[in-house]
Amino acid sequence: MNGFTNYDRYDGLGLAALIAKGAVSADEVLEAAIARIEARNPALNAVIHRMYDEARRAIAAGLPEGPFHGVPFLLKDLYTFAKGAPCGNGSRLFADFVAEFDDEMVTRHRRAGLVIVGKTNTSELGISVTTEPAAYGATRNPWNPAHVAGGSSGGAGTAVAAGMVPLAHASDGGGSIRCPASACGLFGLKPSRARNPDGEGWAGLAVQHAITRSVRDSAALLDATHGPLHGAAYWAPPPERPFLDEVGVDPGRLRIAYSLALPSGYEPHETGRAAVEDAAALAADLGHTIEPADPPINRDALLTAMITILESHIADTLAAPLGPGSPPATAQDVERATWLIGRRGTKRSAVDYVRAGWIIRDVQRKLADFFDTYDILLTPTVDHPSPLLGAIDSQSDDLEAFYKATVGFIPYTQMFNMSGQPAASIPLYWDQAGLPIGVQIAARLGGEATLFRLASQFEQARPWFDRRPPD
């Protein structure tokens, strides 16, 4: 029996500090993490690939002296390659795939001293905003296991909220870091486009980072991983100083706009409105200037562009899933929504794709202009409480209903995947049923420092670290 019984009362940097001063060993911390996963995962299904022996070998071989030396960590099982580990991408289609190398993000995670203990569940190919893949089963929300944990990084969100690890790798092409962070009562930052390597997925919409319990863990991890790959098509403006140094710094008097504007056919939910009004009042109490203002973007065109890009890229994946020359996927290999999205993608023209690119650039320019006036835009992350499992059906023939439900999750998050700007979900509000509802803060391109300053100010004013789901 491992004696380190209060493992989940520390964030990642806290665990690393204990290890550094000899209060506990990396082996003891690992065994505590394994015990927590084995105790809580059967009911929640967050971790789908265990890498315990590999983790033990990594510690025995000697870990790098990074900021997270000895801290247990989970990788999202979506196009994330750790040598010798499966990468199923939430799909039967990749059930037998095993990575032959560590990708760049995994290399940087290991260099930071993190100990990889497994991989987390994700929706098939990252398409759905709920993590309920047919291949691996549903991930449940630890605040209420009848409800969804969000997606596509739902396994990461559930694992951190349930205390399995203090932080977990996640990725975001339309809200897939921020939506699970909202659903699970955690901090989730989507960095600027190309802040981390491999920021070119889904036409540059997708980025990688993490879901964390503390703001400082997010900042320290970004310090450890950011920077372009050699030959990258583009990269984010370099920070003036380490992101961790921004945590706890007075952000000054910020000009904050708040907005509830949505695409046609959608109305703000009363819960999301209440969460934003609550956060706006808190920001005002902290001395910031708050006023309503809607970015002048065409939200309907934005969704058209997003769907065009999604359908085109899924069609490409299904045409040769294991690389050039591999056999194409069949309808039996994937969920029904995935198949239908891919079939639509085969009908998209090059002109459609180019027009989607022009819409992205229009969003970029208009949001850049908006942030010449405002430092922060405050919105709901997901403006409604997490629905029950099964509410979004990826096995239905009704693709329009699938899209409608999906857009209901991401109408506030997706614009920042288009613009490339950093945005974060902050756990400041819980509804009457006890489910967390995040609020989103976004800053200008390259403005993570402002987000870390404001987020840590919120964290100090209304701490959430010890607010935990029931065991």
The tens digit of pLDDT for each residue in 162-180 reads: 999 999 999 999 999 999 9
Which two three-digit tokens encode residue 161?
């909220």
Return the percentage of the chain with pLDDT > 90, whole number.
93
pLDDT of 328 higher than 70 = yes
Q: Are strands 144-148 and 140-141 parallel, antiparallel or unpaired?
A: antiparallel
Q: List residues with catalytic annotation.
A: 76, 152, 176
**Which residue bears the tokens 């294991």?**
322
Position 198 scores a pLDDT of 73
Separation between Cα atoms, residue 72 and residue 34, nearest integer Å: 9
Instruction: Say if residues 111 and 66 touch (Cβ distance below 8 Å).
Output: yes
Strands 255-258 and 289-292: parallel
Q: Count helices and strands (H / E) in the chain.
A: 15, 13
Per-residue pLDDT at 383? 87
Give the residue-averaged pLDDT of 368-384: 96
Q: Are strands 255-258 and 376-380 parallel, antiparallel or unpaired?
A: parallel
The pLDDT score that the predictor gives to residue 231 is 84
Q: How many CB atoms lie within 10 A of CB 246?
A: 23
Q: Under the phi-then-psi rule, with left for phi > 0, alpha for psi from -120 to 50, and beta for the rest, what region is 70?
A: left
pLDDT over 50 (residue 359): yes
Check whether 74 has a pLDDT greater than 90: yes
Confidence class for position 224, pLDDT limits 50, 70, 90? very high
Residue 207 has pLDDT above 50, yes or no: yes
Q: What is the mean pLDDT of residues 401-414?
A: 93
Asked whether residue 171 is assigned to any structural domain, the reply reads yes
The parent domain of residue 118 ranges over 7-461
Retrieve residue 417's tokens: 């995947």
- Token pair listed for 96: 């037998």
Task: Name which of 224, 253, 250 is nearest 239 in CA terms.
Answer: 224
> Is 2 a domain residue?
no
Residue 463 burial (10 A CB sphere; 0-12, 13-18, 19+) = exposed
Tens digits of residue pLDDT in 47-57: 999 999 999 99
CATH number of the domain that residue 402 is part of: 3.90.1300.10
Site of tokens 């265990």: 50
**Is residue 466 assigned to a domain?**
no
412 pLDDT above the threshold of 60: yes
Closest C-alpha to 106, from 125, 128, 78: 78
Decide: 213 and 167 in contact? Cβ < 8 Å. yes
pTM, 2 dp: 0.97
pLDDT of residue 200: 66
**What per-residue confidence (pLDDT) applies to 416?**
97
Return the higher-pLDDT residue of 98 and 322.
98
Instruction: Specify the DSSP class assigned to residue 125.
Output: G
Confidence of residue 91 (pLDDT cuts 50, 70, 90): very high
pLDDT at 199 over 70: no
pLDDT over 60 (residue 306):
yes
Average pLDDT over every residue of 252-256: 98
Q: What is the mean pLDDT of residues 186-197?
A: 96
Report pLDDT digits (tens) over 93-148.
999 999 999 999 999 999 999 999 999 999 999 999 999 999 999 999 999 999 99
Cα diameter, the chain: 62
In angstroms and rounded to an integer, the radius of gyration of the C-alpha atoms of the chain is: 21
What DSSP string runs through 234-302?
Answer: --PPPPSS-GGGGTT----S-EEEE-----TT----HHHHHHHHHHHHHHHHTT-EEEE------HHHH
Handedness of CA 270, 130, 179, 261 (dihedral sign): negative
Provide the 8-state DSSP code for 12: H
Please tell me the predicted confidence (pLDDT) of residue 1: 42
Q: Is the pLDDT of residue 156 over 80?
A: yes
Distance, CA of 124 to CA of 152 (rounded, Å): 8
pLDDT for the residue numbered 240? 96
8 Å CB contact between 363 and 445: no
Do residues 370 and 422 make contact, with C-beta atoms less than 8 angstroms apart? no
- Residue 182's pLDDT is what? 98
Between helix 215-225 and helix 12-20 the angle, nearest 10°, is: 80
pLDDT tens for residues 22-39? 999 999 999 999 999 999
Domain assignment of residue 279, yes or no: yes
By three-state DSSP, how is residue 467 classified?
coil
Confidence of residue 4 (pLDDT cuts 50, 70, 90): confident
Residue 2: the pLDDT is: 59
- What's the one-letter identity of residue 388? L
| Beta-strand relationship, 72-76 and 187-190 | unpaired
Look at residue 231 and give its three-state secondary structure.
Answer: coil
3-state secondary structure of 461: helix
The whole-angstrom separation of Cα 78 and Cα 210 is 13
Structural domain total, the chain = 1
CB 60 within 8 A of CB 68: no
Amino acid at position 42, single letter: P
Distance CA 339, CA 358 (A): 27
Contacts of 1 (CB under 8 A, 6+ apart): none
Query: 169 pairs with which residues across the strands?
Result: 210
Which residues does 29 contact at the CB level (< 8 Å), separation at least 6?
Answer: 4, 7, 15, 18, 19, 70, 71, 72
Question: Does 467 fall in a domain?
Answer: no
Please check whether residue 203 lies inside any domain of the structure. yes
- 371, 457, 228, 414: CA torsion to nearest 10: -50
- Looking at the domain assignment, is residue 387 inside a domain? yes
Give CA–CA dist 218/194, Å, rounded. 16
Residue 471 lies in a domain: no
